[in-house]
Amino acid sequence: MIALQINNWNEQRKNRKLEAIYIDRIIDDLEEEEAYIQSYINYTRQVNKYVIKAISHIEHPETAIKNPSQSLIDLYQASQYNDARTTATTYKELNASGQINILRNQKLRLSLIAYYELDWSNAGVIAFPNKYRESLRSFMPNSIQKKIRSTCGDIYVETKNSLTVKLPDNCEINIDKAVAEKALENLLENELLRNDLTYLEGNIEAKLFYTNYVQSELKRVLNEFYNAK
């Protein structure tokens, strides 16, 4: 009986050490996720500013044509897109190995499960097809797109353990004014482009609302794990 008690005690001690290791790893994953979600929100807000400008150009073409190169940049940047991703390595490992119960605190365990079951990066509002991106890049002359990409493309930023992206605050392109005006006029008169942009505007608003909710849930779970240490 004494030997059995000693074995049980040793087993419990090993489990507690293992639990502490997993808690640290979960915190690391959640902090990585927190940094990425903030970056994702920031990027989406940047795109949204261009969407608002693009809509204004379509509604007021007489104003947009005054600076055709910048208007083309606005239309292109409104089509930018950032892939959503989640950091769930430790959670998936715990599930796959059947060790999720190594977390003794039931509330903590259920909070973690509930957060990851959101699967935010695959949610409908996040995965909604960006038809404007497809339309814009089909109708805008490729030579103009290349010039915009060369100076206005994504900037890679180191965030915790990975890379995230952001758009440059300002950018300029050198295009013959007559060429820019002709390309812009064709785009502004494109009814399909107008409709796709309207859908995109609504999706981005929904996307920002949802990711802000996910971010608040993540912060809550992360605080619970901080308190568990």
The mean pLDDT of 77-89, rounded to a whole number, is 94
Enumerate residues 6+ apart whose C-beta is below 8 A from 164.
35, 36, 39, 40, 43, 156, 157
Contact present, 215 and 44 (Cβ < 8 Å):
no
d(CA 207, CA 187): 26
**How big is the CA angle at 96 (ends 123 and 36), to the nearest 5 degrees?**
40
d(CA 18, CA 21): 5
Q: What is the pLDDT of residue 126?
A: 96
Q: What is the pLDDT of residue 71?
A: 98
The mean pLDDT of 40-57, rounded to a whole number, is 97
Q: What is the pLDDT of residue 162?
A: 83
Tens-digit pLDDT profile for residues 179-225: 999 999 999 999 999 999 999 999 999 999 999 999 999 999 999 99
Q: b/e for 49-66, b at 16 or more Cβ within 10 A?
A: ebbebbbebbeeeeebee
- pLDDT bracket for residue 160 (50, 70, 90): confident
Q: Give the CA dihedral 26, 27, 28, 29, nearest 10 degrees.
A: 50
Tell which residue, 11, 67, 26, 45, has the closest CA to residue 222.
Answer: 26
pLDDT surpassing 70 at residue 54: yes
The mean pLDDT of 58-77, rounded to a whole number, is 97
d(CA 111, CA 108): 5
Q: What is the pLDDT of residue 141?
A: 97
Enumerate residues 6+ apart whose C-beta is below 8 A from 211.
37, 40, 41, 44, 120, 126
The mean pLDDT of 77-105, rounded to a whole number, is 94
pLDDT surpassing 90 at residue 78: yes
Single pTM value for the model: 0.92
pLDDT surpassing 60 at residue 144: yes
189: helix, strand or coil: coil
pLDDT surpassing 60 at residue 3: no
The mean pLDDT of 123-140, rounded to a whole number, is 96
Give the rounded distance of the alpha carbon of 32 from its chain centre.
13
The mean pLDDT of 94-109, rounded to a whole number, is 93
Could you tell me the two tokens for 109? Answer: 């365990």
- pLDDT bracket for residue 11 (50, 70, 90): low
The rounded mean pLDDT for the chain is 93
